[in-house]
Amino acid sequence: MGAISVQRKKNVSPKPKPVSSDFEKDHDSASASKEKIDKKKEKSKRKKSHKAGPSKDENGTPYNYIVILDAGSTGTRVYVYTYLDAGYMVKHELLSGGKAITGIEIAGNLPYVHQDSGYWSKKTRPGLSSFKKDIKKYGDSTEHLASRIGKKSLKKLLSRARKVVPKDQQYRTPIFLHATAGVRLLDASDQEALMSATCYYIKTHSNFYLPDCESHVRVIDGEEEGLYGWITLNYLLGKMRADEEKQVGFLEMGGASTQMCFEPQENEIAEHEKSLMGLRLGTVGVTEPEMKFKVYSHSFLGYGLRQMHLDYLKMLIGQNSVSGEEGSDEKSTIQIEDPCAPDGYRTKVELEGKKCKVVGSGNEEKCRELVYKAFAIKETTGEECSAEEQKEVSRCLVSENMPDFSFDYENFFGVSGYWDTISELLDLENEGKDPSKTEFQKYGKIYSYPEIEKEVSKVCSLNWKQLKDYRDEDEDELADLCFRSTYIVNLLHNGLGLRRDNSSDSFQVNDQINGVDFTWTLGRAVLYASDESVAQIQALKRDNKPESGYNRVGYYTSTNQSVFIRGSEPVGVALRPEYGFQGDSLLLEVVCVLLIFALMFLFLWKRIAVFKMVRTIVSWVRRHRSKKYVKLDENDTPFDVELQDLEDDEEGLAK
């Protein structure tokens, strides 16, 4: 196993010890207030010190930026990534000199896609799926629905992205929003309304490159999400190389679904060809993608932690609910006894329009039984799963279309909800702070069933007060820790077939991979960067002539293997503009405006000149005609005047 650096995202300080006097309480209160003020000042300093990323490196090579928004079930998070422009480096022959970043040569490797700091990402709540209720209200007006979504979710995310991406790079920085399981659970019409409004808001409130709503702002399916996560994992482990024999398997636990992606063994690939995705990747400097993979990727929709907990509570309503509380809501409130919640815990929830009061009973054995049942009765579980009898190991989620896999061979890594739950269960943060256990921060936590089982039993048997004393965590997370831990144990051993007596390092949980926070969006960015690099080199090799016969970076899904999806922009949509193109365009616009003004001036000047000439001619004609007429006396007649004019004309001719 490669070295894995693991670090908790949030800092949790130990609970303060009880004080023995009012003076000490006042002193602690004053100290706490001072500490809060100091933290605010420090936070303010950090905010002021944040600068936009660089436009070029020290050699003048432009950076490429990409903005990706992950619209999850509980919130939306923006990520900004950057990497050097491969086309520029090839065009200026910079790769031949062994150009490197962080000691790694660029040529022959995938683009170095990275973030400079944690400031390059930000999350807002709620998730896009929560705006479903606004669709009926604003559905006929994309503009109004967009305004609602923007105000509550996207505005702050776009603001953060604008602060990170340099101003002279924003016009050429592609932006993507990919919605996952939370939105996948909605009706197709609701999905379309949300995506249309979201794209409208991004286009009208940012200057980022968004040439095609259909590909840039969309609901991705579970296969794609799993593939992006698999790319991220193996990319950070340094396994995305043409000479690498095998990659590791990927498991991710989300709020509404759980993802699985792995590269099957050769004999399984041949047998399950129609169930696999095809992936092509290319390193910097090549004209054709040289890395090809066949992977199985699947999303188990409805098996995420949040969705499974909702299904579990709904099952409890029908099994052990007691209607009728004392008080004014006697008829409208349902009381639920929850064996997975600690004794002494109370909370109120709304399920399918019904108000419910959840009362914890802290029954470990009953909790295990009901969590397994809620898991086993789902329609998507296989025949091997019986809701009445729980086996030690079963593969409820494994279907006939799924290639056979082994935790020992694929060496799966569990991220997101797997890490969050197990790290809280085992208190891994405090373990990592222990100087005697520094190895923990270098390697992921190896999953050990005996260790997990022991801790689950303890957590599920403590009452609410004891549990809060035992673990210093957020109370909402602490209250359902027993459920989450029990469910993950069920999913691993009864859903995916992980042996309970497993003693190898075949499964481990991680929050960071080699010091980088895990997120599937990095895999999406790597895919874009790789395809962009290959496309740029292809354009240079064919002297910018129309492409013909070249392979590109991208993938096809198992559901539609005849359609190849490019890693960057789809067919017919241009790649990002070259760096500096906007400046040339602006200069051209200025020249055009000046030329128009010059033509207008010339036109007006000519009109004025013609007008003056006409006035001169008219004036001359009038003066000339006035000489022919004489002043009439009282006895003159018009006939006399006409004769006089003729006589004058004759005299003039004679002369």
Structure-block tokens of residue 111: 């683009």
Looking at residue 388, its pLDDT comes to 78
Residue 110 lies in a domain: yes
pTM: 0.80
Looking at residue 584, its pLDDT comes to 47
**Strand residues in 507-615 grouped as ranges (E):** 507-509, 512-513, 516-517, 554-556, 565-566
Known binding-site residues equal 255-259
Average pLDDT, the chain: 83
- Whether the CB-CB separation of 222 and 254 falls below 8 Å is answered with no
Looking at residue 10, its pLDDT comes to 39
* 423-426 contacts, C-beta under 8 A, 24 or more apart: 423/8, 423/509, 423/511, 424/471, 424/473, 424/477, 424/478, 424/481, 425/452, 425/455, 425/456, 425/459, 425/481, 425/485, 426/451, 426/452, 426/455
615 shares a domain with 558: no
Number of domains comprising the chain:
2
93 shares a domain with 203: yes
The mean-pLDDT minimum among 63-72, 187-196, 421-430, 543-552 falls in 543-552
If you average pLDDT over residues 135-144, what whole number do you get? 87
608 shares a domain with 633: yes
CA triple 139-142-144, angle to 5 deg: 85
If you average pLDDT over residues 349-375, what whole number do you get? 93
578 is catalytic: no
For residues 89 and 606, the model is more confident at 89
Identify the band that residue 156 occupies on the pLDDT scale cut at 50, 70 and 90: very high
The burial of 218, by beta-carbon neighbours within 10 Å (0-12 exposed, 13-18 middle, 19 or more buried), is given as: buried
Looking at residue 428, its pLDDT comes to 84
Looking at residue 242, its pLDDT comes to 80
Known binding-site residues for ATP equal 255-259
Identify the band that residue 320 occupies on the pLDDT scale cut at 50, 70 and 90: low
Looking at residue 25, its pLDDT comes to 38
Looking at residue 188, its pLDDT comes to 96
**pLDDT at 471 > cutoff 60:** yes
Residue 111 lies in a domain: yes
If you average pLDDT over residues 326-346, what whole number do you get? 80
**pLDDT at 288 > cutoff 80:** yes
Catalytic residue among 223, 224, 225, 569: 225
Q: Which of 574, 604, 622 corresponds to the end of one domain? A: 574
Q: Which of 546, 574, 602 corresponds to the end of one domain? A: 574
182 shares a domain with 254: yes
Looking at residue 291, its pLDDT comes to 96
- Whether the CB-CB separation of 505 and 440 falls below 8 Å is answered with no
Looking at residue 39, its pLDDT comes to 46
Identify the band that residue 586 occupies on the pLDDT scale cut at 50, 70 and 90: low
523 shares a domain with 548: yes
> Residue 447 has what DSSP assignment?
P
209 shares a domain with 140: yes
Residue 224 lies in a domain: yes
Residue 460 lies in a domain: no
Going by C-alpha positions, the residue among 174, 167, 171, 207 that lies closest to residue 65 is 174
For residues 655 and 603, the model is more confident at 603
Measured CA to CA, the distance from residue 484 to residue 489 in angstroms comes to 9
641 shares a domain with 545: no
Taking the mean position of all CA atoms in its chain, how far away is CA 650? 99
The mean-pLDDT minimum among 437-441, 478-482, 575-579 falls in 437-441
**pLDDT at 472 > cutoff 80:** yes
88-116 pLDDT, tens per residue? 998 888 887 667 776 667 888 999 999 99
**pLDDT at 6 > cutoff 70:** no
Per-range mean pLDDT, top range of 21-25, 96-100, 270-274, 437-441: 270-274
Looking at residue 549, its pLDDT comes to 60
270 shares a domain with 191: yes
- Whether the CB-CB separation of 40 and 147 falls below 8 Å is answered with no
**pLDDT at 37 > cutoff 70:** no
Going by C-alpha positions, the residue among 309, 301, 252, 355 that lies closest to residue 476 is 309
- Whether the CB-CB separation of 553 and 227 falls below 8 Å is answered with no
If you average pLDDT over residues 29-58, what whole number do you get? 60
Show Cβ contacts of residue 214 under 8 Å, excluding neighbours closer than 6 positions.
570
Looking at residue 112, its pLDDT comes to 96
If you average pLDDT over residues 533-537, what whole number do you get? 94
148 shares a domain with 266: yes
**pLDDT at 280 > cutoff 70:** yes
**pLDDT at 413 > cutoff 60:** yes
If you average pLDDT over residues 84-91, what whole number do you get? 92
- Whether the CB-CB separation of 33 and 44 falls below 8 Å is answered with no
**pLDDT at 500 > cutoff 80:** yes
**pLDDT at 625 > cutoff 80:** no
Show Cβ contacts of residue 271 under 8 Å, excluding neighbours closer than 6 positions.
403
- Tell me the backbone φ, ψ of residue 241, rounded to 5 degrees: -135, 150
Residue 609 lies in a domain: yes
If you average pLDDT over residues 247-269, what whole number do you get? 95
DSSP string, 149-217: HIIIIIHHHHHHHHHHS-GGGGGG-BEEEEE-HHHHTS-HHHHHHHHHHHHHHHHHH--SB---HHHHE
Looking at residue 352, its pLDDT comes to 80
If you average pLDDT over residues 2-30, what whole number do you get? 37
Q: Name the residue range of residue 87's domain.
A: 63-302+518-574
- Whether the CB-CB separation of 414 and 228 falls below 8 Å is answered with no
The mean-pLDDT minimum among 169-178, 212-221, 325-334 falls in 325-334
Measured CA to CA, the distance from residue 147 to residue 194 in angstroms comes to 11
Identify the band that residue 547 occupies on the pLDDT scale cut at 50, 70 and 90: low
For residues 181 and 67, the model is more confident at 67
Residue 539 lies in a domain: yes
> Residue 4 has what DSSP assignment?
-
Residue 197's CATH number? 3.30.420.40
Name the β-bridge partners of 321: 336
86 shares a domain with 130: yes
Structure-block tokens of residue 126: 């709620």
Looking at residue 59, its pLDDT comes to 86
Measured CA to CA, the distance from residue 58 to residue 389 in angstroms comes to 65
642 shares a domain with 540: no
Identify the band that residue 624 occupies on the pLDDT scale cut at 50, 70 and 90: low
Residue 336 lies in a domain: no
If you average pLDDT over residues 362-374, what whole number do you get? 95
Residue 308 lies in a domain: no
> 345 to each of 225, 309, 338, 359, 468, how far by Cα in Å?
36, 16, 10, 6, 11
247 shares a domain with 295: yes
